[in-house]
Amino acid sequence: MKQLDVSAIKDGSVIDHIDSKSTLKVADILNIKAEEDVVLVGMNLTSKYLGKKGIIKIGGKILDQKEVNKIALIAPNATVNIIKDYEVVKKFEVVVPEVIEGIVKCFNPNCISNYGNTKAKQHLINKNPIKLRCHYCERVMGANDIVLI
Amino acid sequence: MISFKQRDVISILHFNKEELLYLLDVTKRMEQTHYSHILKGKVLAALFFEPSTRTRLSFETAMKRLDGMVIGFAESGATSIAKGESLSDSVKTIEGYCDVIVLRHYLEGAAQLAADIVNVPVINAGDGSNQHPTQTFLDLYTIQKTKGTLEGLKIGFLGDLKYGRTVHSLAYALAYFGAEMYFISPPNLRMPKDYMEELKNRHVACHEAESLQDIGKRLDVIYCTRIQEERFADPIEFEKVRGIYRLSKPILEGLGVKDDLKIMHPLPRVDEMDESLDGTNYAIYFEQARNGIPVRKAILATVLGVIE
């Protein structure tokens, strides 16, 4: 039997195939500090596809679409597995949506979306490498410019 | 069939080549045909949160020449905005008083936000350093009228290419017409990376330089811009570049420019173009400013659906 680098969880979500360097950022997005159930974080694990990968397992939590979308922006190669009674009941790859609303802060300080109650909004213009165009000020953001709200 | 009825005019990125040519065609009709009364009973709200002379007055003139009416403000100090009213609330209220909104704002994306909120057409008259599409339409019209074509020209953009929104919009538009572009600026005012990448993605031949030396003689048009003091947070940075470019008749002749070179400028100028240029065949910037009237007539008439 294969030895797991990071122990299995009974119920919850597993985010796998995270680019290793982005693991803690993904952990931040998911606000794991607030979790009360088991949380396991692994970095620099061997991956056939990525060389080194990260993995996060969150007990008792089923990720919703908005959270998955956020992960997609930071770790576009990640996969999300939903676990029930140690079995994978749902498996999906993260996909950056065509329109991203209320997730990414526009990096342009003079953009109207950084003032008042305007909800930030971007359009996906390139998937890999990721490029987003602000709906309002039209600035193009790359992966390094992405700051989540 | 192209129709601009009820359409917002926010960014040149929202227009394809056919739509630009359509608008230039309507502009020509506006200049050659005496239209009156076609906007009778229509109200334009001109909301200028930033100072403007040419854009605001030419929109007002265009509307009034077509028998429309104008309401609005030239600065927000005497309005509810000074009391802290949000842009969203302002435009939601004002849309009930008018048929079309023309908006200039110091924040980038303001016109798009307004367009998302209201049901009347919104025309962007400049949003921060982002876009100024109606200036681009009149720039294109001026080039087409004076050079006889928009296709395959060598265009030099000179001055503040970082904050100069007219440059950003015009470069995008000219990309449709196979222009070769030369961007001449001091290092700290270069064309932003995003725009350069977008132009290269559109297969535009782009060149960057710090002076017109060796480049001037190749150009069909020089689009000169003012270095905008109001865009600099640090006055020391502004002082470093103030007056760095000064075009004059002797300088142009020294560069060996083409006889049919045309000099454009969105105005106002400060010291980047000497008055010795004004009476020459090179200078078309006052004609360019005058072209604001037929262009804005065409935009108003088409978005209000009275001309197809």
Whether A24 has its CB under 8 Å from any CB of chain B: the answer is no
Q: Looking at A61-75, A127-141, B140-154, B196-210, which range is the least confident one?
A: A61-75
Strands (E), chain B: 43-48, 69-73, 100-105, 122-127, 154-158, 180-184, 205-209, 221-224, 262-264
> How far apart, in Å, are the Cα atoms of B207 and each of A13, B183, B214, B277, B305?
51, 6, 12, 26, 41
- Interface mutation vs chain B, best among A101, A126, A136, most B CBs within 10 Å: A136
For residue B294 the two structure tokens come to 């037929």
For domain B133-289, say whether CATH 3.40.50.1370 is its number. Answer: yes
> How far apart, in Å, are the Cα atoms of B216 and each of A56, B186, B213, B291?
59, 16, 6, 26
Q: b/e per residue, B153-167, with b = 16+ CB within 10 A?
A: bbbbbbbbbbbbbbb
Which part of chain A has CATH 2.30.30.20? 99-148
Q: Which of A117, A137, A140 sits opposite B109 (nearest CB)?
A: A137
Interface touch B88/A117, C-beta < 8 Å: yes
**For the domain A5-93, what is the CATH code?**
3.30.70.140
Residues forming beta bridges with residue A42, ordered by sequence position: A55
- At B238, the amino acid letter reads F
Give the pairing type, strands B205-209 and B180-184.
parallel
Contact residues for B52 (Cβ-Cβ < 8 A; gap 6+) = B74, B104, B125, B126
Interface touch A137/B197, C-beta < 8 Å: no
d(CA B12, CA B260): 28
Residue A4 has pLDDT above 70, yes or no: no
d(CA B54, CA B290): 9
How do residues B18-42 score in pLDDT, each as one tens digit?
A: 999 999 999 999 999 989 899 999 9
Residue A3 has pLDDT above 70, yes or no: no
Residue B180 has pLDDT above 70, yes or no: yes
d(CA B122, CA B117): 10
Decide whether B12-131+292-303 matches B133-289 in CATH topology. Answer: yes
**How do the domains of chain B map onto residue ranges?**
12-131+292-303, 133-289
Which part of chain A has CATH 3.30.70.140? 5-93
pLDDT at site A103? 87
Contact residues for A67 (Cβ-Cβ < 8 A; gap 6+) = A29, A30
For domain A99-148, say whether CATH 3.30.310.50 is its number. Answer: no
Q: Report residue B82's pLDDT band, with 50, 70 and 90 as the boundaries.
A: low
Q: Looking at A64-78, A135-149, B224-238, which range is the least confident one?
A: B224-238
Q: Report residue A138's pLDDT band, with 50, 70 and 90 as the boundaries.
A: very high
| Domain B12-131+292-303 architecture | 3-Layer(aba) Sandwich (3.40)
